[in-house]
Chain A
Amino acid sequence: MFAYFTGHRSEIMAELWSHVQLAVIPVIIGLIIALPLGWVAARFKWAYPPLISVAGLIYTIPSLVLFVAMPGILGTQILDVVNVIVALAAYAVALLVRVVADGLASVPADAKQAATAMGYKPLGRFFAVELPLAVPVIAAGVRVATVSNVSLVTVATLIGTSQLGTLFSDGFSAGTDQSSPILLGIVLCIVLALVLDFAIQFATRALTPWLRAVPKT
């Protein structure tokens, strides 16, 4: 496994880098889209059921299906990386809309009232009070989305996108010593998932200083 790594260092580093991009960018795009949608779902009661059902429906579509259908929907080439990013972003939105809505709904009403009494306008109150207080719940969803994304990205190997999953197909088609690249790919995926997960937890901790300001009861 290590011999394989040293022998193919530059390719593997390139694959690792594109894997990182394919795992992280869709979650960021997904979060940006999910925030306003989740706000609508939390703010207006009538909007919650349809938004959440549509999100659940998107999640029902298998990843391979979404990958191969994207060129048809977007008019891109099958080898285009955009397909993978859009497909994974759709999953991230599907997962995060609910999380954002539930996170915003979990903000205590007294906190919102206090903020209003202090003179916050609705928009300012959202960014200064509601969103930060919803961070723990949203972050839990972002962790799930990111970690499962890392393993979903490998499926994109089947449509020819280069990332760590490429090591699996390399191993599959290799003549001898097939397991080294595959094992290496699995290990790198898990390590990457752990690193990203840790980074999100660290960011969450930095964003929620108040959770440690008061001793836990």
Chain B
Amino acid sequence: MWTYLSTGTNWGGQAGLWTNILDQVEYSVIAIVIASLIAFPLGLWIGHTGKGGTFVVGSVNATRALPTFGLMVLLFIVLSPHFHGRSNAVYIIPVEIVLVLLAVPPILSNTYAGVQSVDPAIRDAAKGMGMTGRQVLTSVELPNAFPLIMSGLRSASLQVIATATVGAYIGLGGLGRPIYDGFQQGPFQDTDPSRAATGQLLGGALLVAVLALAIDFILATIQRYTTSRGITGRYRRSTVLAGSQPVMAPEPEKVISEVVAQQPRRPGLRPDSVR
């Protein structure tokens, strides 16, 4: 693996690792941006008005059951006859559709759960101060929901980066490329003393893991410095609102948020009490 990663020629060129990394980031960012544009306003609206909560929970559970790999292959086969010419849109479009489908539910459900989990007393106080619905949403509900919204964005990003590798199967570039190509040549069974295929496969795998960790770290840092100080308690230790601290692990929030979505009134299950 180290031989593969430390060989300079593997990094350059059209099919080199740098191109793979940049492609992987490009596919992921496109999907996350599109998904955020759809899910974020919708989640805020549903959370604010309280309409359609069951729809959110139901659709999130339904999409989780959807095998993304199968959908990707199906879309490719259905769409590919309609593309001509030399562009690689034929690979990108099916993959992007799947990635957006994958990224919408966590962002949507966490935005919704975040807004819903805002203490009704705080919301009442804001209304009592004469804030309009829009002001309540932007200056009270949004900052309070922000940690949960960010954790939704983080788990969506992780799933998208992970799943984008699968696109290599239908011929897309990105970091799935070295993994899949290495596998095709017979990993762990290659008799070649340099074990080049194994190195290529594991090298690609390591880079995906590192990329996923790096993106999560960047988002965690953004979360840390954009969350209102009144929420994180970085403002002054003694005035921290009971337990409304940002949560660390990316994925498991979704579980909590769903528990919240299903049983919003049960004490002890609200995200602010579980930390």
Cβ contact of B70, chosen from A59, A64, A186, cutoff 8 A: A186
On whether the beta carbons of B255 and A172 are closer than 8 Å, the reply is no
On whether the beta carbons of B70 and A144 are closer than 8 Å, the reply is no
The segment out of B115-123, B200-208, B224-232 that lies at the interface is B200-208
Indicate whether A144 sits within 8 Å of B213 (C-beta atoms), given known contacts A65-B208, A168-B73.
no
On whether the beta carbons of A59 and B258 are closer than 8 Å, the reply is no
Cβ contact of B216, chosen from A60, A78, A178, cutoff 8 A: A60
A148 within 8 A of B: yes
Indicate whether A59 sits within 8 Å of B248 (C-beta atoms), given known contacts A64-B166, A158-B166, A172-B73.
no
A57 within 8 A of B: yes
Q: Within B39-75, which residues are at the interface with A (CB < 8 Å)?
A: 61, 64-71, 73-74
On whether the beta carbons of B180 and A144 are closer than 8 Å, the reply is no
On whether the beta carbons of A168 and B69 are closer than 8 Å, the reply is yes
On whether the beta carbons of A158 and B169 are closer than 8 Å, the reply is yes
B162 within 8 A of A: yes
On whether the beta carbons of B166 and A155 are closer than 8 Å, the reply is yes
Which chain A residue has the least Cβ–Cβ distance from B270? A106
On whether the beta carbons of B162 and A68 are closer than 8 Å, the reply is no
A148 to B216, CA, bound (A): 20
Cβ contact of B77, chosen from A59, A69, A171, A186, cutoff 8 A: A171
Q: Within A143-195, which residues are at the interface with B (CB < 8 Å)?
A: 144, 147-148, 150-151, 154-155, 157-159, 164-165, 167-169, 171-172, 178-179, 182-183, 185-186, 189-190, 193-194
Q: Within B232-270, which residues are at the interface with A (CB < 8 Å)?
A: 248-252, 254-256, 258-259, 262, 268-269
Which chain A residue has the least Cβ–Cβ distance from B163? A62
Cβ contact of B254, chosen from A62, A68, A105, A144, cutoff 8 A: A144
A52 within 8 A of B: yes
B188 within 8 A of A: yes
A193 to B71, CA, bound (A): 15
- Distance in angstroms from B155 CB to nearest chain A CB is 8
On whether the beta carbons of A68 and B201 are closer than 8 Å, the reply is yes
Residue numbers in A under 8 Å from B250 (CB-CB)? 56, 59-60
Indicate whether A189 sits within 8 Å of B70 (C-beta atoms), given known contacts A78-B187, A140-B259, A158-B180.
yes
Contact with A along B67-92 (1 / 0, CB 8 A): 11111011011100000000000000
Contact with B along A5-36 (1 / 0, CB 8 A): 00000000000000000000000000000000
Residue numbers in A under 8 Å from B170 (CB-CB)? 172
B212 within 8 A of A: yes
On whether the beta carbons of A65 and B158 are closer than 8 Å, the reply is no
With a 10 A CB-CB cut-off, give which of B65, B201, B208, B250 has the most chain A CB atoms.
B65
On whether the beta carbons of B179 and A68 are closer than 8 Å, the reply is yes
A78 to B161, CA, bound (A): 23
A64 to B176, CA, bound (A): 9
A113 to B155, CA, bound (A): 37
Cβ contact of A60, chosen from B206, B209, B262, cutoff 8 A: B209
Indicate whether A154 sits within 8 Å of B249 (C-beta atoms), given known contacts A65-B205, A108-B268.
no
A186 to B174, CA, bound (A): 25
On whether the beta carbons of B249 and A59 are closer than 8 Å, the reply is yes
On whether the beta carbons of B67 and A150 are closer than 8 Å, the reply is yes
On whether the beta carbons of B65 and A193 are closer than 8 Å, the reply is yes
- Distance in angstroms from A4 CB to nearest chain B CB is 14
B165 within 8 A of A: yes
Known: A64-B165, A69-B202. 18 other contacts (CB 8 A): A49-B248, A52-B249, A60-B250, A64-B166, A64-B208, A68-B183, A78-B189, A99-B252, A106-B273, A137-B259, A151-B66, A158-B180, A169-B73, A172-B169, A179-B78, A182-B73, A189-B65, A197-B65
Residues of B that sit less than 8 Å from A by CB: 61, 64-71, 73-74, 76-78, 158, 161-163, 165-166, 169-170, 176, 179-180, 183, 187-189, 201-202, 205-206, 208-209, 212-213, 216, 248-252, 254-256, 258-259, 262, 268-269, 273-274
- 3 closest A-B pairs by beta carbon, nearest first, are A56-B249, A62-B162, A193-B65
**13 residue pairs A–B, Cβ–Cβ below 8 Å:** A52-B248, A62-B161, A64-B179, A65-B179, A71-B187, A77-B189, A98-B255, A106-B269, A137-B259, A151-B67, A151-B69, A157-B69, A185-B70
Residues of A that sit less than 8 Å from B by CB: 49, 52-53, 55-57, 59-65, 68-69, 71-72, 77-78, 94-95, 98-99, 102, 105-106, 108, 137, 140-141, 144, 147-148, 150-151, 154-155, 157-159, 164-165, 167-169, 171-172, 178-179, 182-183, 185-186, 189-190, 193-194, 197
